[in-house]
Amino acid sequence: MILPTGVTGFFDSQSGEPPLTDLSLFQKLCYSIAAESGGRVLTFESADVSTNFAYARIKWNGDELFVLFNEHYPYLAMADAIGFGGISFVDRVLLKEAFSPYYSVLETGELNTPIEPPMIQHLNRAERAQVSYWKPKTVGEIVFHYWD
């Protein structure tokens, strides 16, 4: 996966601000898809100063699940745990199918892929500086990060 400019949310004067995704649509879809699949949204959190993603915490099939949504590109992932110590990505076929018409749903194999230089070639200078500082090891640690 070649990561697009702005995926981290960091930018400089040369690259300009990255695009923004429609968080209201994401929120509506989370409530709708959760209800249709037998789950319910427990909380919904927007991106903040230390993250580049919003998420919904959903009670689904007896478990809690997090649906993560990149603030700048229509990338979505699922996790069973999130926090400053890391994100534990999971795959859920039914939810992937439900969200796929709207977003690029990234699977654990792709998210856990080690970073190689060609993958970050399009990141802007500010993003590359953050990557150098935080030293993420996987694609998922860049697309869904806890950096400030």
User: Is 76's pLDDT higher than 80?
Assistant: yes
C-alpha–C-alpha distance, residues 42 and 49, integer Å:
22
For residue 2, tell me if it sits in a domain. no
C-alpha–C-alpha distance, residues 2 and 123, integer Å:
9
Residues contacting 44, CB < 8 A, separation 6+: 27, 30, 54, 55, 56, 57
For residue 13, tell me if it sits in a domain. no
On average, the pLDDT of the chain sits at: 95
User: Is 66's pLDDT higher than 90?
Assistant: yes
Share of the chain above pLDDT 90, in %: 86
Tell me the average pLDDT across 43-72: 94
For residue 6, tell me if it sits in a domain. no
User: Is 60's pLDDT higher than 90?
Assistant: no
Structural domain of residue 88, as residue ranges? 23-143
Provide the domain count of the chain: 1
For residue 16, tell me if it sits in a domain. no
For residue 133, tell me if it sits in a domain. yes
For residue 35, tell me if it sits in a domain. yes
